[in-house]
Amino acid sequence: MVKAESFSYHLGKTIDLKKAQKKAGGNILGNILEIKVDELEVHVFQSGRIRLSVPGKTFNELQEAMLSNAMRISSIIQKIGGKVDVQKVMKTGKQDDPEDYDTSAIEGKGLVSSEVVRGIISSAYRVSQDFQVERIMTQAGETVGRKLVKQKNPKNRAMLVKEIKEYVEKEGFGRIEEGEKRKLVDIVFKVYGCPFAAGAPNINKKVCNFTRGILRGAFAEFKGAETISVKETKCWAKGDPYCEFEVYSLAA
Ligand SMILES: [Zn+2]
């Protein structure tokens, strides 16, 4: 497992990086402001996140560096707009979660082309076995689906479906529609223009494991149950003109 060696504190409000730079100094690099305190790097995100790290050093070493530079860190945060001291930062901030990316650091819409996505997937099939590629992609999608539900906290099934649809379209995973009702199936989704597969020749594989994972993660998190199974029943890469997923709730 990957461990994050950085520490994050949230100011609880968005930050205008140019104004922050005027007050606290540092360099704007892309969508973040970097301020150096000796070997310690303070990264200010537009989202209000302040991340501290010492490149190449462990979290314990970082904590030592933070304590010995407490006054300077405190003064930087105050200049940016937080009326806090390092004691409070230490108490309310936390070691980063390796899967918690702050997308405010990405410039533009942050979307990569479907060519890149397909390149990654076809290379994965080339260097690894099918079941391993499937597991990795499904796991990656599940993380995303669970995070979506945790963030949006939909109150009912219709809201869950709406959040999934919006997310899939916004992030460039194609256009998703609810399909017709089927016996024993919780819900059917059809995906048009799926970037993993749309336009693919028939290779007799269902390749949209990432999308399958999003659906499984979202429904499992929403229901608070692990007994959710998602099957891809149609796929461009299997010769179909769209991809289709069936969501099942299995009896515990
Ligand atoms: Zn597919």
Could you read off the pLDDT tens digit of each residue along the chain, which spans 252 residues? Answer: 789 999 999 998 999 999 999 999 999 999 999 999 999 999 999 999 999 999 999 999 999 999 999 989 989 999 998 777 777 888 888 999 888 888 889 888 788 888 998 899 889 999 999 999 999 999 999 999 999 999 999 999 999 999 999 999 999 999 999 999 999 999 999 999 999 999 888 999 999 999 999 999 999 999 999 999 999 999 999 999 999 999 999 875
Quick check: helix, strand or coil at residue 132? helix
Ligand 1 centroid to 205 CA: how many Å? 8
Give CA–CA dist 156/74, Å, rounded.
43
Q: Are residues 80 and 129 in the same domain?
A: no
Ligand 1 centroid to 215 CA: how many Å? 13
| Triad 235, 238, 240: Cα angle to 5° | 60
Quick check: helix, strand or coil at residue 228? strand
Overall number of domains in the chain: 2
Ligand 1 centroid to 138 CA: how many Å? 13
- Whether 2 maps to a domain, the answer reads no
Ligand 1 centroid to 145 CA: how many Å? 17
Give CA–CA dist 81/77, Å, rounded.
6
Q: Are strands 228-234 and 40-45 parallel, antiparallel or unpaired?
A: unpaired
Q: Are residues 92 and 185 in the same domain?
A: no
- Whether 56 maps to a domain, the answer reads yes
Q: Are residues 74 and 135 in the same domain?
A: no
Ligand 1 centroid to 191 CA: how many Å? 8
Residues of the domain holding 37: 7-105
Q: Are residues 183 and 203 in the same domain?
A: yes
Q: Are residues 152 and 57 in the same domain?
A: no
Ligand 1 centroid to 1 CA: how many Å? 29
Ligand 1 centroid to 39 CA: how many Å? 47
